[in-house]
Amino acid sequence: MSEVIPFHENDAELFSSRKSARPGPVITSDGEEEWLVERIIDSRRVGRSFQYLVRFTGYGPEEDQWLPGQELWENAALTVWLDNHIS
């Protein structure tokens, strides 16, 4: 007999106090807000540059955003994406 029980997503209407808090931004030394990127989901060409569909740490797909490549230039998630998608 297995002691593992299936996972059931929280019903926020029944158990609102169990809802996990979403992480806030990191405030840089110059006062700018930066959000942690979990991973890049997709990319698309826009004119001469690229945009990347970004999933932020602690947020679901409904919060994914297209960001210009120059905003992600030094982000580790972009490095991973490029390593896996450029031949």
State residue 17's pLDDT score.
65
Is residue 6, in this structure, part of any structural domain at all? Answer: no
Contact by Cβ (8 Å): 37, 57:
yes
Here the CATH number for the domain that contains residue 47 is 2.40.50.40
Is residue 87, in this structure, part of any structural domain at all? Answer: yes
State residue 5's pLDDT score.
78
Question: Rounded to an integer, what distance in angstroms lies between the CA atom of residue 44 and that of residue 66?
Answer: 9
Is residue 10, in this structure, part of any structural domain at all? Answer: no
Give me the domain span that covers residue 63: 36-87
Is residue 68, in this structure, part of any structural domain at all? Answer: yes
- Convert the pLDDT of each residue in 27-65 to its tens digit: 889 998 888 999 999 999 999 999 999 999 988 899 999
DSSP state of 31: S
State residue 35's pLDDT score.
87
**Amino acid occupying residue 16:** S
Question: Rounded to an integer, what distance in angstroms lies between the CA atom of residue 82 and that of residue 43?
Answer: 10
Count: domains in the chain: 1
Is residue 2, in this structure, part of any structural domain at all? Answer: no
